[in-house]
Structure 1
């Protein structure tokens, strides 16, 4: 950022990623953070978003707002996932342009890559194959967001960047028993097993698929790092024809290893039962993070440490946590 204080709008500040970005920006004390709840500015309302950004005259936008969920939610509500995500990104990006906002960071998802993409997944794997059917509507919306930013850059000379995080977890995650992702779902399941004295915990699938997990505070730090890169450095190191950057740890583990770690963190001493009748999904999903490493950033929070702090947050908030 420049020596003058910047006015920064964080869209989606109440969510897991948005709240982490707000925490990260507060550490710098170099900007004035602008936030709005959905009741104050509905990001699905084009006119409301345009009027807000024009009136606020912000310098930068972090677009962390999105409709998110696990496999069940994506399967059950495909129309809501594609519609709401498309509308949010279209409204915010276009209104930012109309308001003269030069810098914007769009947060996507690793699900943009083909189901059978070569591992680890590089940025240039985008649009080279078919997507995972269970979350295709969400993935298509996120791909559209990347191309939206790329198009405003090409046509109007904007500096709208995109980062693609791997699987995220941490404070303010969604711990709903049906609509959450694997880490919050397992944390809740193991916690309830400990509380109830259950002898076993059943986990969907064989436990063999491999996944990569990134603490949301690392994601926020990477987002600010990418946003603050000088444009010349950013372009020189990321190849301008590729309009997004992967964010991850570059390390994965099996679902079995993840479950065993969560069992340790939560103090569960019973049996782990893997239900192989349930789908495993893609055998492996790992991000190639060499581009981000070349740009000077690496993840710093080890998985077990991050899980322990997330469980502590869950314990402190389990009476009011979502779901």
Structure 2
């Protein structure tokens, strides 16, 4: 019987010993994969050793082949065992890092509050929706036509001046009221209409205790056959009483280009009268601008200053407090 060459046998035994030790101490799955390729890959250490089997005789090859399989099984078994151990360690480490102590007290997060302006808007819209009105919206950047011309503003009306209106370089402007929604809505719908719209408005106004350059307004209007000023007065009274209860109100004659006759509504606030609402019967020229026949249809419209309603409801003495971001002030609501 031919003796197995000592050099190949020694190489295989050495390979098994060093490989098993290296695999057993592999620190990561990545390092373990590198060892697998290094020992068992196509160009790995085992393949290099077995490359010398071509020089063996037919009697010698079975002995070296059997030893090679033993070495391969030992290395493969070590790889599988170490992989299972590393994966288990990884899972345990992840569990330890993500474990929550449910007995620890939670982090306190203070509850948010609705800003007075948003609160008033929600209340007013709810009242008008309860009266059968539809909610509509419109753009804050507007053209002269929808903001002025279609609302019966004459070309030389003071509101068109730069000192009152914020104009943009392209000739558009920041809407000065939410009445632009009235024109846009009427162009797309036929009477009867009952609509309420709210949003920001912009004017070059001197900021003081009751005025702001950026403010919120709510527009309401109704158009149908046979609508009179008595319907407007009844709507205004029902709305204010729904919001404030039995408070003193008064209507004063006024003028707006888009209503005729027109009136301003005041409520008694801290011992004095505060203007909160402008209204009137929609001017026939406005009806004609959207294609309505003023001989058939009539309607009323009104604009509400949201900030001033908030001042009345929450007894705020200065409109600027609504935009101060003072937490001591806002936490009261």
**Structure number with larger C-alpha Rg:** 2
What TM-score, normalized to structure 2? 0.24
What TM-score, normalized to structure 1? 0.25
Pick 1 or 2: higher relative contact order, CA cutoff 8 A, min separation 6: 1
